[in-house]
């Protein structure tokens, strides 16, 4: 972020094609993936692509064959922007693994903008009971955290460890607690530990502290491979560790006996399906999730990303556009 990779540009208002919607952005969440893209950990798929994939907006116009929404609807645009619908992964219900998938703010222009177009089939209706700013982090942080929770195979009433406590973790932990789990949080940021305890987690400690009890499941949200071995060591027999992020620094060498034997499982989380999104958004409404938001104006997007990089954002950063 020190080299200022973002530039504010004037572009013509985009036009919705067949099956697309023109959406006026009300606000857009700031996700760690945007930071990886800005800093080059993730290569952009298109030069000068507009980042942002937690978009809350209002439908302004519908292109031909776009039937799911009408003008004036408040909608959400998330990370998954399109798939081929025909490959072996799509056909078996794993559209998150589609090799031809495209993403908002990576392949297609995203929500760090006043307007964007999105494919109607990948746009989400939004739950009620949340402000626009509170809705934004649900759309990636929330959905990915929910998929990570599913991938971590947390048993009912189980013990869950969470490494890194930002936008995604603060939502996933509430879902886990609502399901009767004891949640233990590991993060270097004191303000994040405080937020975690306010939300009802069982304990909060530093990243490399030992867990107060063995864990059935664990999720790593921090993009830090160094925490993989300690997270695995804190798993109980048969436990599962899911890595939630799109990017992770290298994992140090693992010791089979200390870190994997006794049928401990290490797995990744790759994007999400539209089904995950629907399930999570319904759950968010039913559980009345508390969303912790730090707002920034659109032209302070670089400041929001800089703060995220320095662990200075508590909860989720959101750009308020309109
Ligand atoms: Zn596919
Ligand atoms: Zn994201």
CB 234 within 8 A of CB 214: yes
Give the model's pLDDT for residue 2: 86
The SS3 assignment for 206 reads: coil
Q: According to the model, what pLDDT value does residue 55 have?
A: 98
Q: How would you list the strands of the sheet with 235-243, edge to edge?
A: 203-205, 182-186, 159-163, 215-220, 235-243, 265-268
Ligand nearest to C-alpha 84: 1
- d(CA 173, CA 69) in angstroms, rounded, equals 32
Output the CA 280–ligand 2 centroid distance in Å: 15
Q: What's the CA gap between 288 and 286, in Å, rounded?
A: 6
Q: Find the 271 Cα to ligand 1 centroid distance in Å.
A: 13
Alpha-carbon distance of 180 to 154, in angstroms, equals 10
Q: How many other CB atoms sit within 10 Å of the CB of residue 307?
A: 18
225: left (phi over 0), alpha (psi -120 to 50) or beta: alpha
Q: Which H helix or E strand runs over 151?
A: helix 143-151
pLDDT in tens, the chain (322 residues): 888 889 999 999 999 999 999 999 999 999 999 999 999 889 989 989 999 999 999 999 999 999 999 999 999 999 999 999 999 999 999 999 999 999 999 999 999 999 999 999 999 999 999 999 999 999 999 999 999 999 999 999 999 999 999 999 999 999 999 999 999 999 999 999 999 999 999 999 999 999 999 999 999 999 999 999 999 999 999 999 999 988 999 999 999 999 999 999 999 999 999 999 999 999 999 999 999 999 999 999 999 999 999 988 888 999 999 8
Nearest ligand, CA of residue 36?
2
Distance CA 132, CA 101 (A): 27
- State the Rg of the chain over Cα: 19
- How far apart CA 111 and CA 78 sit, in angstroms, is 10
What is residue 138's predicted lDDT score, i.e. its pLDDT?
97
Nearest-angstrom CA–CA distance, 220 and 279:
22
Strands (E), the chain: 20-30, 55-62, 74-77, 80-82, 102-103, 115-119, 123-125, 159-163, 182-186, 203-205, 215-220, 235-243, 265-268, 293-297, 316-320
Residues with CB under 5 A from ligand 2 (ion): 31, 33, 140
Q: How far is the CA of 102 from the centre of ligand 1 (A)?
A: 10
The pLDDT value given to residue 173:
98
Q: For residues 104 and 114, give the distance between their C-alpha atoms in angstroms, rounded to a whole number.
A: 15
pLDDT at residue 4, rounded to an integer = 86
Ligand nearest to the CA of 85: 1
Tokens of 34: 């945007």
The whole-number pLDDT of residue 184 equals 98
Residue 72, both tokens: 């004036």
**Residue 127 contacts residue 284 (beta carbons within 8 Å):** yes
pTM above the 0.75 mark?
yes
In this prediction, residue 276 carries a pLDDT of 97
């Amino acid at each position: 972020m020190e080299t200022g990779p973002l530039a504010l540009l004037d572009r013509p208002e985009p036009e919705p094609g067949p099956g697309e919607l023109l959406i006026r952005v009300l606000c857009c969440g700031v996700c760690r993936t945007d930071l990886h893209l800005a800093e080059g950990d993730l290569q952009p798929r298109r030069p000068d692509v507009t980042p942002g994939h937690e978009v809350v907006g209002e439908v302004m116009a519908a292109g031909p064959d776009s039937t799911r929404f009408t003008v004036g609807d408040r909608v959400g645009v998330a990370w998954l922007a399109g798939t081929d619908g025909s490959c072996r992964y799509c056909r078996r219900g794993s559209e998150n693994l589609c090799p031809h998938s495209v993403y908002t703010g990576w392949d297609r222009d995203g929500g760090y903008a006043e307007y964007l177009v999105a494919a109607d089939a990948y746009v989400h209706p939004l739950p009620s009971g949340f402000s626009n700013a509170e809705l934004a982090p649900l759309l990636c942080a929330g959905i990915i955290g929910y998929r990570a929770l599913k991938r971590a195979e947390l048993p009912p009433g189980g013990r869950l460890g969470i490494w890194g406590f930002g936008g995604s973790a603060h939502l996933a932990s509430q879902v886990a607690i609502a399901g009767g789990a004891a949640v233990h949080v590991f993060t270097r940021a004191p303000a994040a530990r405080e937020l975690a305890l306010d939300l009802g987690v069982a304990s909060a400690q530093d990243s490399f502290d030992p867990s107060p009890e063995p864990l059935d499941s664990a999720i790593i949200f921090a993009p830090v491979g160094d925490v993989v071995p300690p997270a695995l060591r804190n798993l109980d027999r048969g436990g599962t560790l899911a890595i939630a992020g799109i990017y992770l620094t290298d994992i140090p060498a693992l010791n089979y006996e200390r870190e994997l034997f006794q049928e401990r499982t290490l797995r990744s989380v790759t994007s999400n399906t539209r089904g995950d999104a629907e399930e999570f958004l319904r759950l968010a409404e039913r559980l009345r999730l508390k969303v912790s938001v730090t707002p920034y104006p659109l032209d302070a997007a670089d400041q929001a990303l800089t703060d995220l990089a320095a662990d200075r954002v508590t909860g989720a950063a959101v750009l308020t556009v309109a």
